[in-house]
Structure 1
Amino acid sequence: MKIHLTSIFVDDQAKALDFYTNVLGFVKKHDVPLGGEARWLTVVSPDAPGGPELLLEPAGHPAVKPYRDALVEDGIPLAQFAVEDVQAEYKRLTSLGVRFTQEPLAAGPVTTAVLDDTCGNLIQIATQAK
């Protein structure tokens, strides 16, 4: 068994696509119109184009807002992405105007930081010591 696709709810798919590709560095894989403004919109890591896909899913379901609001209020990230160097990625992203809710923090063998994806979610980036 392996992870093929996971989703993250976003307020605006176009805005999310811009952030996840032009800021975070993912690559668009699928963009299929579903009627109205909704699209089947996925991104992947440029290092693993055949790897797991992240679906930028419209946040229209009524359960999404209270769920995401509670996570953000408590400072809990919705997803975590691995990076080579949290400190370097933190510097790169802050230079692009990304807002972090947690600066890089070492916790044993892992260093993490938490950012606001501008689409309603907190995202954690992490590096595990080698």
Structure 2
Amino acid sequence: MDNNKNYITPEGLAKLKAEYHALMHVERPKLVEVVAWAASNGDRSENADYQYGKRRLREIDRRVHFLTKRIEDAELVDPKQMKGTTVLFSATVTLVNEEGDEVVYQIVGEDEFDPKVGKISWKSPVARALLGKKIGR
């Protein structure tokens, strides 16, 4: 796998797009209205609504820029299209430890990992150890 690629599952890409949409089409327009209203009230140096609004707009713009780049660079990998016995990106793997306890992981993209629900980044040490392995090995 190419370390420079942004591999992602359809579910992960949908989440990035949903966050982008919420920021650009819901939160940002409301915030622009608040900032415009606050600016119209006069002295901006002591206007908390204006100062907070401008700061939050910069945060939103940075996040939107980041999301745009990640979405543009996304290399979509659909787990439903993956077949076989070799562990590849988007695979769901069940590991059994020495005590016989099972742990289930899905190997996902950097933007969608969530260890609490068993989703690990394909760049993590555990995923790196699993990629390319066959069932039972």
Task: Check whether TM > 0.5.
Answer: no
Larger relative strand fraction: 1
In terms of Rg, which structure is larger?
A: 2
Please give the TM-score of this superposition, normalised by the length of structure 2. 0.28
TM-score of the two chains, using structure 1 as the length reference:
0.29
